[in-house]
Structure 1
C-alpha cells in the first residue's frame, strides 16, 4: 500500500504552489486545500499522517481546525505555519498538540526536515504502561516528577522546536539539554553549551556569532562563534536571562531568520541549529521587569521543561547519593559501599537548597576525606550537621534561611580589602548552594564579574 498523501492547507495561491512543488519534489504525494472546510474534508477522506497547516485561514481559525482533526485522529502530525507577528499563536498550537511550527519566511531545507521528522515519528509502536526509569541519560531517580521529565524529553527530542528549561540552580539543566540533544535526530552533530552569565556582555556577541580579524581591539584572528560551531546540531544557551538586551534583539533576529552575521562581517549566512535555553530565574518576572524581551520569551518558550527541586523528588536523593558514592569511591580508590541508615534518614529530611549539585559535592567531600565502608553522620561536612541540628531544635521552617546573624568583624580585622572581598563573595556563593547567579543578585554584581574574579584568584593561587 502506498503511504497516505500529505495534506497541505494554505489559502495563499502562490505559497500553496511553492509548498506543493517542494513536497512533491521530495517524493511525497500531496493533497491541497485552501480553506478550513476543504481541509477537514481532505483530512476525513485521505487520513493523512502529516498535515501542513497555515494558521491564518479565511473561513475558520487554524487552531480550531487542528483540534477538531486531532480529536478524529490523535496520531496525525501537524506542522503549523505562522507569520513573524504570530509567534504566540504558534506556541499555543504546540501546546495544543502541533508537532512542529515554522515561522515565515523559512528555507526549503527546514520545511522538508520538519515534514520528514513528522513522518518518521508517526510510525512507532503503541505505548503500553509507561516504563519506570531509574536513570535516564545522565539523570538519576525514579520519582513520579522525574518520570514526567523523562517522558517530556523523549517527546520533544523528536521535534525541532525550541526548548526552554527552568529550575533552581543545581537541578541539572545542562544534563537535561544534553539529554534532549542525545535523544534527537541531531545526536551525531555538535552540542555546544554557552553560559551567558559567565561571559562579559561586551564579548558575548562575539562568543555567540563569531567575529572577523580586526573587527575590534583584540580581535587578532577570525573566530567561529558558538552558533556556527553548532551548525547541524544544538546550541544550548544557559542562564539566558543574563543576556544583554541588545544581544537579545540579535538573538531574536537569528531565531526568525536562521542567519548569523559575525562581528565585522558584511554578509549574513544561513545555519541550521536547534536552540535550547535555560534559566534559574522566573522568565516571566524578568519580562515584567523589562530585563527580558517579551517577543523573545514567546519565541523561546515553545516547549517548556521544568526541573523540580530535589526536595520534591522523594527517594531520589538517596539514589543520587548512592550513585555519587559509588563513582567517587572508584575514582579515589576508597572502600565505600553505601550510606548508613541514619544518613539516609537525615538526607530525606534536608531541604538541599543546592539540589543535586549540593548532594554530589557533599558525597565527594566525604569520599575524599574518609575511607568507608559506609557513609556515617560523623563524616558529613559541618554545614550539613549544623543544618540538621538547627532543624532538630526547631530553629525555623525547613527550607527557609535562618534569621540574619549578628555581624561580627573579628574575622575581618587585619585583612586587606581584597581578602575581605574574596571572603564575602565565596561565603555568599556557599550559602546559596554554589550558585554564582544567586550570589551575584545578593551582592548586586554581574555574574560575569564574579566568574572573572574567581578565575583571577585561581591564577594567583597557581603562581
Structure 2
C-alpha cells in the first residue's frame, strides 16, 4: 500500500482528529491545518504528497484555492470534502482539478481508498480553468444515492464518452443528460432529445437520420434528422430499449463509423454529436431475449449512470417539494408552503411515478389548494387513496372529474350531518375558474388576448372574471402569485 505525507485542512477539530487517527493507522504521516492561511504555511514546511481539504473554511473557500495550489504543485492530488452536497460542488471540484470529491458525512474506508489511489496516481496534471458553474441546476437532492450520481456526472462532463442512464420512469433521466450537456464543452451547441417509445417504427430511421425528397410516399422535401440537428452538440436517445432492431443496426453503424446517410440519400454525413442514451428497461434481459443488440449495448454503456427511485431517496423529498412549489409560484400559481405533517405524509407515499409524480402533485396543490399552508389532509385528498394510487392530472376528461368529486366529497364530509351553506354552485365554479384563469395566463405569459382565445371567451369577459377573482395579469406575467 502507498503511504505518504498528507495535509488535512478542516476547521472542525473532531474531523481533523478522526482523519489523523485513521490515516496514521494506515502508515501515513499527517499534518493538520484549520484554515487556508495555515494550509499555505504547511504546503512549504510539511511538503505534503496529498492534500485533503474542506470547502468552507474560516478565511475562505477551499475550492477557490485548489487551482492556485495546483499551479504551484501540479503533481499534488487533492481530495475535497464538503457538506454542500450538490451537483455544482461536485462538478466544480472536478473542474478545479481535484482528484476526488467526497460528500460529508464520508465513509472512512472510502476516504482511505481514495488517499491510496491518489498517492499512487501522482501524475502531472494541468489546471482546468472553470467557465463557471450554473447554480440553477436541474438535479436536486443531497442524499447519498444522489451523491454517487453527481460524482459520476462530474467525471464525464469534460470528455466525450457515451453515457447510458438507467432509471425508472419519472426519475429524471433527461435532466441528467441536460446537466452533462450544459456543463460540458458542447454547452453552446444544440441539445436534441428523441423518445424512441413515442416514434412509430417505420418513422424512426427518418426521425434519426433525416430523409431526401421522394425517399418515400409523402416525402415532399428534404428533412434533417435528429443527428443532423444535433451537430456539434448532444443527442439524447430516450427509452433506447424501445428502439426496433433494424434501427439499432443503423445506430450501431453510425457509432462505429462516425457518419450516417439520410433515408434515400447517398452522401455520408459526419456525425459530430455526443450520445447520451437512457432506458427504464433491463437491457441485459432484452439482450437475452433477442430484443436488443449486445454490441450496441456495449457501445452505449461506456459510462453507466443509475438514477435512484424517489422511494430510495426519501430525505430529498422536502427540498424537491419546496423547489416545485417555488417553480409553480414563479409560473403564476399561488405561493404555498408545506406543514411538517404534510412532509411526513409525502415521505410515507410509495411514489410509483417518482420525481415526476411529486412535481405533478405539487403543481396540483399549488393550483387547487385555497390555504397557503398545505396539510397532510390535503396531501391525502390529492393522492386520493394512499401509496401507489395517485390521481392522474389531465385537465380534461374523467381524471379531472374524479379529482373534483374527491374534493367535493371531502367538503361535504367536513360538515358532518349538516349541509354546506347555500350558494354551493357558484362557490364550486369559482374554485375551478380561478386556477384555470391563473394557469392559462401563466401559460401565455400574461397575454390577455391570447388567454381569451385559448379559453374561448370574449376578452371583456376575461377582464371581468379576472377582476372578480382579483387576479392581476401583470403579476402573473412577472411570475408572482
Aligned residue in 1 for 2:287: 287
Q: Contact 2:365–2:382 (CA<8 Å) still a contact in 1?
A: no
Separation of aligned partners in 1, 2:255 and 2:147: 31
Q: Does 1:305 align with 2:305?
A: yes
Q: What's the CA shift string for 1:33-78, capped at 9, x where partnerless?
A: xxxxxxxxxxxxxxxxxxxxxxxxxxxxxxxxxxxxxxxx998xxx
Aligned residue in 1 for 2:256: 256
Taking structure 1 as reference, are residues 167 and 218 closer, same or farther at Cα in structure 2, changes over 3 Å only?
same
| TM-score computed with the length of structure 2 as normaliser | 0.54
Q: Gaps spanning 5+ residues in structure 2: where?
A: 1-74, 78-93, 106-132, 391-396, 403-454, 457-481
Separation of aligned partners in 1, 2:364 and 2:220: 43
Query: What CA RMSD, in Å, does the superposition of the two structures yield over aligned residues?
Result: 3.0
Secondary structure at 1:332's aligned position in 2? coil
Aligned residue in 2 for 1:206: 206
Secondary structure at 2:290's aligned position in 1? coil
CA positional deviation for 1:127? 5.0
Aligned residue in 2 for 1:377: 376
Separation of aligned partners in 1, 2:198 and 2:255: 22
Q: Contact 1:329–1:335 (CA<8 Å) still a contact in 2?
A: yes
Higher Cα Rg: structure 1 or 2?
Answer: 2
Q: What's the CA shift string for 1:247-287, capped at 9, x where partnerless?
A: 10000000001101000101212121110000011111111
Q: Contact 2:162–2:275 (CA<8 Å) still a contact in 1?
A: yes
Q: Contact 1:334–1:372 (CA<8 Å) still a contact in 2?
A: no
Secondary structure at 2:321's aligned position in 1? helix
Aligned ranges 1:75-154 → 2 under 5 Å: 124-125=97-98, 130=103, 137-154=137-154
Taking structure 1 as reference, are residues 378 and 128 closer, same or farther at Cα in structure 2, changes over 3 Å only?
closer
Q: Contact 1:332–1:367 (CA<8 Å) still a contact in 2?
A: no
Aligned residue in 2 for 1:155: 155
Q: Does 1:348 align with 2:321?
A: no
Separation of aligned partners in 1, 2:293 and 2:349: 37
Secondary structure at 1:276's aligned position in 2? strand
Q: Contact 1:139–1:175 (CA<8 Å) still a contact in 2?
A: yes
Task: Identify which range, 378-387 or 179-188, moves more after superposition.
Answer: 378-387
CA positional deviation for 1:378? 3.4
Q: Does 1:339 align with 2:338?
A: yes
Taking structure 1 as reference, are residues 216 and 129 closer, same or farther at Cα in structure 2, changes over 3 Å only?
closer
Aligned ranges 1:291-440 → 2 under 5 Å: 291-336=291-336, 338-380=337-379, 382=381, 384-387=383-386
Q: Contact 1:209–1:224 (CA<8 Å) still a contact in 2?
A: yes
CA positional deviation for 1:369? 0.8
Aligned ranges 1:131-280 → 2 under 5 Å: 137-280=137-280
Separation of aligned partners in 2, 1:127 and 1:293: 35
Q: Contact 1:177–1:236 (CA<8 Å) still a contact in 2?
A: yes
Separation of aligned partners in 1, 2:76 and 2:218: 56
Separation of aligned partners in 2, 1:243 and 1:284: 15
Separation of aligned partners in 1, 2:236 and 2:244: 17
Q: Contact 1:165–1:306 (CA<8 Å) still a contact in 2?
A: yes
CA positional deviation for 1:122? 9.6
Q: Structure 1: which 4+ aligned runs deviate by more than 4 Å? A: 125-133
Secondary structure at 2:235's aligned position in 1? strand
CA positional deviation for 1:289? 1.1
Q: What's the CA shift string for 1:81-127, capped at 9, x where partnerless?
A: xxxxxxxxxxxxxxxxxxxxxxxxxxxxxxxxxxxxxxxx9982555
Separation of aligned partners in 1, 2:341 and 2:384: 12
Secondary structure at 2:216's aligned position in 1? coil
Separation of aligned partners in 2, 1:182 and 1:167: 21
Separation of aligned partners in 1, 2:311 and 2:219: 46
Secondary structure at 1:386's aligned position in 2? coil
Separation of aligned partners in 2, 1:387 and 1:311: 14
Tell me how many residue pairs correspond in the alignment. 279
Separation of aligned partners in 2, 1:318 and 1:222: 49
Q: Contact 2:326–2:335 (CA<8 Å) still a contact in 1?
A: no
| TM-score computed with the length of structure 1 as normaliser | 0.56
Separation of aligned partners in 1, 2:268 and 2:379: 55
Taking structure 1 as reference, are residues 302 and 126 closer, same or farther at Cα in structure 2, changes over 3 Å only?
closer
Q: What's the CA shift string for 1:16-41, capped at 9, x where partnerless?
A: xxxxxxxxxxxxxxxxxxxxxxxxxx
Secondary structure at 1:139's aligned position in 2? coil
CA positional deviation for 1:329? 2.6
Separation of aligned partners in 1, 2:139 and 2:98: 25
CA positional deviation for 1:380? 3.0
CA positional deviation for 1:168? 0.3
CA positional deviation for 1:187? 0.9
Q: What's the CA shift string for 1:290-313, capped at 9, x where partnerless?
A: 111011001111100000000111
CA positional deviation for 1:156? 1.1
CA positional deviation for 1:331? 2.2
Aligned residue in 2 for 1:21: none
Separation of aligned partners in 2, 1:359 and 1:201: 32
Q: Contact 1:215–1:263 (CA<8 Å) still a contact in 2?
A: yes
